[in-house]
């Protein structure tokens, strides 16, 4: 019969892993490996975090990310988390790891900290730099109201760069600077259809890089009076 060399209990009293009882085995062996320095990027402008891509922040997303970072020696390991503190300064978490070692079920509790590093995501970096690929000129009709609708339609487009980076009010209308040429073009088509806007497109060559021409689109939307 096995007797635990650390606590003197026997196989009859507690399950054993190797020479040790389960409790003493877990004291002797680190079976859950939490990286010493955990750091996550956070964009303060759009409040997204970077996991393997920029994504909306949620506790589920954070848990998924931690599951990839934390390694265990458990068979059939399952990790669950709770987050007692989540702020821009840091995130602390508690974990419960369940699984088995040599067929003996084990449960390990622990905690950790994640450093939050603020960094503008590429989208916000471009946006805040006034990046644009297209200008939508909203003209005629109730152009103030229409410009608002157009801007909202742009933001709804699925492109990464579907944003309005600058708004310029002119006597004859409003100019919206848009991050994505494709998004601007699609929105123009929608407004042509839905509101009977007359669309005038023009392209200007901005730069020529490595034989690749970069055009900027200007699309004027003339709304009926």
Q: Does residue number 6 form part of the binding site for Zn ion (CB under 5 A)?
A: yes
Residue choice 3, 41, 46, 149 for contact with Zn ion (CB under 5 A) = 46
How many residues bind Zn ion (CB under 5 A)? The answer is: 10
Minimum gap (Å) between residue 164 Cβ and Zn ion: 15
If the CB atoms of residues 35 and 129 are measured against Zn ion, the closer one turns out to be 129
Question: For the window 68-107, what string marks contact with Zn ion as x by the rule CB under 5 A?
Answer: ----------------------------------------
Dist. CA 37–CA 115, nearest whole Å: 8
C-beta closer to Zn ion: residue 25 or 93:
25
DSSP string, 59-126: HHHHHHHHHHH-EE--EEEEEEEEEEEEETTEEEEEEEEEEEETTEEEEEEEEEEEEEEE---HHHHH
Considering only residues 17, 21, 31, 188, which one is a binding residue for Zn ion as defined by CB under 5 A?
21
Closest C-alpha among 187, 180, 171, 182 to residue 220? 187
Q: State the nearest-atom distance from the C-beta of 169 to Zn ion, in Å.
A: 26
Sign of CA dihedral 66, 68, 73, 76: positive
| Contact flag: residue 7 with Zn ion (CB under 5 A) | yes
2, 45, 98, 216: which one binds Zn ion (CB under 5 A): 45
- Residue 124 interacts with Zn ion (CB under 5 A)? yes
Tell me whether strands 104-118 and 38-42 are parallel, antiparallel or unpaired: parallel
Task: Please enumerate in sequence order all residues whose Cβ is within 8 A of that of 152, keeping only pairs 6 or more positions apart, or say none.
Answer: none
Q: Does 121 bind Zn ion (CB under 5 A)?
A: yes
Q: What's the rounded Cα separation, in Å, for the pair 160 and 10?
A: 62
Residues engaged in binding Zn ion (CB under 5 A): 4, 6-7, 21, 24, 43, 45-46, 121, 124
């Amino acid at each position: 019969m096995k007797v635990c060399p650390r606590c003197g209990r026997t196989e009859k009293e507690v399950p054993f892993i190797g020479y040790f009882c389960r409790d003493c085995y877990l004291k002797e062996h680190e079976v859950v490996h939490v990286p010493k320095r955990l750091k996550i990027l956070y964009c303060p402008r759009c409040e997204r975090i970077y996991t393997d891509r920029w994504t909306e922040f949620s506790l589920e997303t954070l848990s998924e990310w931690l599951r990839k970072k934390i390694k265990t020696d458990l068979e059939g390991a399952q990790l669950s988390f709770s987050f007692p503190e989540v702020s821009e300064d840091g995130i602390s978490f508690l974990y419960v790891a369940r699984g088995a070692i040599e067929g003996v079920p084990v449960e390990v509790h622990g905690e950790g900290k994640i450093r939050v590093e603020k960094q503008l995501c590429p989208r916000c970096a471009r946006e805040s730099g006034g990046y644009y690929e297209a200008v939508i000129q909203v003209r005629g009709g109730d152009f103030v109201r229409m410009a608002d609708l157009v801007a909202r339609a742009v933001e709804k487009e699925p492109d990464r760069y579907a944003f309005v980076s600058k708004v310029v009010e002119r006597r004859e209308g409003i100019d919206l600077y848009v991050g994505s040429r494709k998004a601007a073009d699609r929105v123009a088509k929608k407004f042509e259809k839905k509101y009977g806007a007359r669309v005038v497109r023009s392209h200007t060559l901005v730069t020529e890089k490595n034989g690749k021409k970069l055009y900027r689109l200007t699309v004027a939307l003339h709304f009926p009076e």
